Amino acid sequence: MLTIKQITDDTEAVLRGLEKKHFKNAKETIDEVIAFNDKRRSAQNQLDNNLAEVNSLSRTIGQFMKEGKKEEAEAARAQVTELKEVNKELDAAMTEAATELQNLLYTIPNIPYESVPEGTNAEDNVVEKMGGMETELPKDALPHWELTKKYDLIDFDLGVKITGAGFPVYKGKGAQLQRALINFFLEEARKSGYLEIMPPTVVNAASGYGTGQLPDKEGQMYHCEVDDLYLIPTAEVPVTNIYRDVILDEKQLPIKNCAYTQCFRREAGSYGKDVRGLNRLHEFSKVELVRIDKPENSQQSHQEMLDHVEGLLQKLELPYRILRLCGGDMSFTAALCFDFEVYSEAQQRWLEVSSVSNFDTYQANRLKCRYRSGEKKTELCHTLNGSALALPRIVAALLENNQTPEGIRIPKALVPYCGFDIID
């Protein structure tokens, strides 16, 4: 959430940022924010002045009573009663303006950094880097949804029977491959200094608002209406909310957490060939990295996360590319985001497997996540997160890119976690 200071101190810069993110009605919305803030402040100032006057009159009443001036004392009491009634109205007006202001701020996206390119959609993203190993497949190479059937690794039809489309059932070496990847990602994160967290996969609304999934992604989250709880779309939500309403000591930073969870996304409106097989699921496994740092160190933290994810793809021997997302393709909450994509030779297309984002103070302001500096002042932290990695499309690329006449080869780094080096 943008801060009021940010909006009022540099309104034009905020409007330029919202324009880069293609936020509709930016000028009207910001004007409304400023108006609500002025109304809240005016009511607060009046209330403060009235409270000071009530205190002064209360002292005067005592003095009048000592001096036997009952009429003057009664007149002062009448003034106090009248002021208290006015104060109730002012307090209600202030609360209403503050609530309207907060609800409006929740609808405004984060401001992108200057380094974010202009653009409206994925076509305008900038390729920063390409790497990994080129692959040569047999002429009769199959897409992963055919390979999983051939080697009895994943049953999509059984998932439809049990739950519905987008909820596959992993079997045999398919299940072992999933578990191997989870353990590999977690162990690599541990080696890089991340503390593993095992959070709940259901969160309350306050947690959704804290990281920005609510109200922006409300329609994309599974909602347990009876209990007003939400299935998490990513471990970012519960892990980052550990630090909601927390004041950290400067010495605790940076905080580095990782978590493996199941993730749930409704993916409403997703149809067609691009969602076949593992390309787009309603439930999937993911290892997430979350970092909290001081503002002056968040750029370095972001780069370290990018290096970590790139290292995973290199160890998995997959061809990959890194994209700097344009303003129109970034998430609601991100100030800067890089996507990692792996190339699927069998599908002849790039598959997104990770987004690594810096949120600046946007999430921290929602969360009230602060740290106390050496000067004993409290400041908002910067929050960052990234997938390391999401499994479905990694599995798809691994199966497709490593198919041989003898079977599907397992990358060397993964063999100790699988217990086998080929699926045949």
103 annotated as a binding-site residue: no
Residue 261's φ and ψ, nearest 5 degrees, are -145, 165
Would you state the pLDDT for residue 246? 97
Would you state the pLDDT for residue 199? 98
> Do 369 and 283 belong together in one domain?
yes
352 annotated as a binding-site residue: yes
Would you state the pLDDT for residue 29? 97
> Do 144 and 24 belong together in one domain?
no
Would you state the pLDDT for residue 62? 83
234 annotated as a binding-site residue: yes
169 annotated as a binding-site residue: no
Segments of the chain with pLDDT less than 70: 268-274
80 annotated as a binding-site residue: no
354 annotated as a binding-site residue: yes
Q: Map tokens 């005067």 to a residue.
A: 60
Among residues 180, 182, 228, the alpha carbon closest in space to that of 203 is found at 228
> Do 19 and 132 belong together in one domain?
no
Asked if residue 111 belongs to a domain, the reply is no
Q: Quote the CA–CA distance of 233 and 262 in Å, as a whole number.
A: 8
Q: CATH number of the domain that 254 lies in?
A: 3.30.930.10
Q: Of 73, 105, 137, which marks where a domain is finished? A: 105
Would you state the pLDDT for residue 222? 96
Q: CATH number of the domain that 33 lies in?
A: 1.10.287.40
Q: Determine the 3-state secondary structure of 126 from DSSP.
A: strand
74 annotated as a binding-site residue: no
Q: Which two tokens stand for residue 422?
A: 């080929």
> Do 126 and 101 belong together in one domain?
no
Would you state the pLDDT for residue 136? 81
Q: Radius of gyration of the chain from Cα atoms? A: 27
> Do 303 and 362 belong together in one domain?
yes
> Do 261 and 165 belong together in one domain?
yes
Q: Quote the CA–CA distance of 53 and 55 in Å, as a whole number.
A: 5
Would you state the pLDDT for residue 150? 96
CA distances from 145 to 32, 38, 284, 394 (A): 51, 58, 16, 13
Asked if residue 356 belongs to a domain, the reply is yes
How many structural domains is the chain composed of? Answer: 2
Domain range holding 58? Answer: 4-105
